[in-house]
Amino acid sequence: MELKKGIWLIYLHLMLFHVNGSALNCTWPNAESLYDALDETIFSKNHLRPVNLLETPTNVSISFILVGILGVNEKAQTFTTFLWIRLEWIIEGLTWDEKECGSEKLSVKRENLWIPDIFILEFMDEDQSPITPYVYIDSRGHVMDEKPLRVVSSCKLGILKFPFDVQNCSLSFGSFIHYDSAIRMVLGLSAERILSQSREVLQTEGEWELLNITAAESLLSLDGGGYHDIVFNILLKRRPVLYVVNLLIPSCFLNTVDLFSFLLPPQSVDRSAFKMTLILGYTVFLLIMNDLLPVTGNTTPAINVFFSISLGMMVGSLLETLFITHIQNSSNPHVPRWVRIVVLQYLAPIVCLTNKQQINRVTVDLNPNPTQLVTTVGMQAPFRIHHLEIKPRPIAVDHQPEKSAHDPVMEELRKLSQDLRTISRLVERHFKEPQTLCDWTFIGIVLDRFLFLNYVLFLFSTLVAISVLWTS
């Protein structure tokens, strides 16, 4: 029994000696005497890094919990978060006996101890964090310093994919003046633990969703020495619903209406007026949207380009309508040959329009009564008259051998023939003008359909390109 006790005492002594040179001597097992003992040994040396040999680096372990994502400012390229940060290090040589001194831990004023000058490299704004005046010391010399921190950090924000963007912001924790020979940073919790704990407590995310947190050590070498840092990369994903509902869907609606306005006949003024109203509506929409879109100096979000293209296409389709209306009401009856060839021979088959209606027959029947001139014309537009047939009513003529120049029948026939020629000329002149006009109408229809197909194709390819960009 005695022997056992003795061995135990020796073991305890050895342990204490092994861990550090000398334990604190508390006179009473209460906080006051512990404080007095600490005051004598540690607090008086709070200007010195707590190591026995200055060559030994102090390991400062760091971990944090992300409590809130307060915002991302694209213009200033900053990222505001709220962290609970925990630093831990060891005061070499400090131990006390829990029984002898009455407690395992003691919270002491921050000013009483040496505190590592850990800061965040990306810090951009003045520190508006609440002040915590105390740190914990435990009986093995562990110091635990926990504080809330409101961090406004610089972050390179890529907004090309807005509103489907993912941001990768770093927080690098390290000492400001101590080289890595004096302060080494150690990861207190694994990045997965930090992520899962942050997910549990995350209170305000706003429009951002926490995707991942990764941690890596880094050594910043400058002349004179290296600075040891721990870099946390925080991946954030924007929640796009607000922007899809407020920006994308209304824009797509307006584009669809613009597409369907091609159903209106181009020669009427209605269509251009309608398109003009749409453009006005879209401009108002763009004005409202300006407040929602992020702005930075160097990159423009793809969605901005999409809106510009949409507006451009609306303006383009208005111009197209004006052009079609102009050529369909063209005062110049002559259609240039190249226009006829390009439009009627090449474009018309592309847009599946053939002017087979153009071979319309005009039949002029001559009744015995010359005042009744009946013309029947195929009424489909566009029409063109290629053949003008004039069927004179067979006139029964007695074939008599004694024909003379002064035959009254011949006289009558000659008159009739002259009349017919006049009528024919008149009819020709009457149809000449509409023919070219109808050419212009047809050309207008072909061009309208061709440009409409281009419009659809362009809109579709823009949408596909932007979707690919967003999902990549």
* 169/343 with CB nearer ligand NAG: 169
Residue 448: CB minimum distance to ligand NAG, A: 49
Closest residue by Cα to residue 421 from 395, 388, 376, 398? 388
Contacting range for ligand NAG; rule: CB under 6 A; set: 17-25, 42-50, 391-399, 437-445? 17-25
Would you give the DSSP letter of residue 44? G
Binding ligand NAG (rule: CB under 6 A), the pick from 46, 77, 154, 212 is 212
Residue closer to ligand NAG by CB (options 156, 361) is: 156
Per-residue x/- marks for ligand NAG, 145-184, CB under 6 A?
-----------------------x-x-------------x
Q: Which is nearer to ligand NAG, 77 or 129 (CB)?
A: 77
By the rule CB under 6 A, 20 interacts with ligand NAG: no
Spatial separation of the C-alpha atoms in residues 118 and 172, rounded to whole Å:
10
Total number of residues binding ligand NAG (CB under 6 A)? Answer: 14
Q: Where do the H-state alpha helices sit in 186-290?
A: 191-201, 241-243, 249-260, 269-289
Query: How many Cα atoms sit within 13 Å of 183 on the Cβ side?
Result: 26
Distances (CA, A) of 32 to 39, 107, 244: 10, 12, 63
CB nearer to ligand NAG: give 139 or 251: 139
88 DSSP 8-state letter: E
Alpha-carbon distance of 346 to 352, in angstroms, equals 10
- Whether the CA torsion 304, 310, 314, 316 is positive or negative: it is positive
Q: How near is the Cβ of 312 to ligand NAG at its closest, in Å? A: 34
77 binds ligand NAG (CB under 6 A): no
User: In terms of DSSP bridges, do strands 58-73 and 78-90 run parallel, antiparallel, or are they unpaired?
Assistant: antiparallel
In the chain, the amino acid numbered 297 is: G
Q: Is the dihedral of CA 444, 450, 453, 455 positive or negative?
A: negative
- Candidate residues 6, 12, 15, 22; the one interacting with ligand NAG per rule CB under 6 A: 22
For the bound state, the minimum distance from the C-beta of residue 170 to ligand NAG, rounded and expressed in Å, comes to 6
Binding of ligand NAG by 234 (CB under 6 A): no
Residue of 218, 194, 224, 266 lying closest to 442 (CA atoms) = 266
Q: Does 25 bind ligand NAG (CB under 6 A)?
A: yes
Contact positions vs ligand NAG (CB under 6 A): 22, 24-25, 41, 56, 59, 168, 170, 184, 186, 212, 214, 233, 235
